[in-house]
Amino acid sequence: MTAILELREVHRTHGKGEAAVHALRGVTIDVQAGELVAVMGPSGSGKSTLLNLAGGLDSPDSGEVLVEGRPLSSLSRKELAGLRRHSVGYVFQALNLVPSLTAAENVALPLELDGVSARKARPLAEAALAEVELSGYADRFPDEMSGGQQQRVAIARALVGQRRLVLADEPTGALDSQTGEAVLRLLRARVDAGAAAVLVTHEARHAGWADRVIFLRDGVIVDTSGPLARPEQLLEATA
């Protein structure tokens, strides 16, 4: 079986000289299809750096990142851009919705960048919006939606088409706990349908949706656990 995401002994230093920060110091992980891995750790421990490397937004100083078995270092810039648009979905804490585009246009953006015509992209965008329970919101602009709805648009954009690797950096940061839980449910559903996902989170409750939790400290994996108990399992256990 090929891992959807593989990091092998990855090192990454930001900045130079006195200001250099060794953000990742030899990180090795793999994430299979059907697997949701949560990454936890203190602020500055390298979580976002790890996610950026996984998505080909940044490259390691040494070590190798492979997506669907392809070493990213072997890809041309054009191939890498194609892989980012086609195979990888991102959800960032800052939503990065384009304010002048409607919800459907925002969701369709990665498809259109990938060369899908607007006419073909529209139904795919509507399907992704339906998946996040925003049917009927396709023609709203971001400022006509609540924060939670905007976040779900961002999730739909990350899931649109059939992205095999979903990377989420504290995607529930700005959300109330109920909406946050809904976002996790969506991520879990997409993973159960065959994607692989990496979720950076501060909340143990959200990490409870993961198959595995990786703890980072100062750029090193210090611990890995199996699944944490999910809230509903805790409830069942105490019922």
Report the residue closest to Mg ion, judged by CB: 48
Helices 177-192 and 147-159: crossing angle in degrees, nearest 10, is: 10
Binding mask 36-65 for Mg ion (x = CB under 5 A): -----------xx-----------------
From the CB of 89, what's the least distance to ligand ADP, in Å? 19
Contact 91, 170 (CB under 8 A): no
Scan residues 22-81 and list those touching ligand ADP (CB under 6 A). 23, 41, 43-49
Query: Is the Cβ of residue 20 or residue 189 nearer to ligand ADP in the bound state?
Result: 20
Q: With CB cut-offs between 5 and 8 Å by kind, which of ligand ADP, Mg ion, none does residue 44 bind?
A: ligand ADP
> CA 17: distance to chain centroid?
31
Q: With CB cut-offs between 5 and 8 Å by kind, which of ligand ADP, Mg ion, none does residue 151 bind?
A: none
Tell which residue, 224, 211, 215, 181, has the closest CA to residue 37. 211
Distant-in-sequence, close-in-space partners of 189: CB < 8 Å, separation ≥ 6:
none
Q: What is the dihedral of CA 194, 40, 175, 153, to 10 degrees?
A: -30
Tell which residue, 104, 204, 83, has the closest CA to residue 152. 104
Query: Is the Cβ of residue 56 or residue 161 nearer to ligand ADP in the bound state?
Result: 56
- Answer yes or no whether residue 18 interacts with ligand ADP by CB under 6 A: no
- Answer yes or no whether residue 149 interacts with Mg ion by CB under 5 A: no
- Answer yes or no whether residue 21 interacts with ligand ADP by CB under 6 A: yes
Residues that bind ligand ADP (CB under 6 A): 14-15, 21, 23, 41, 43-49
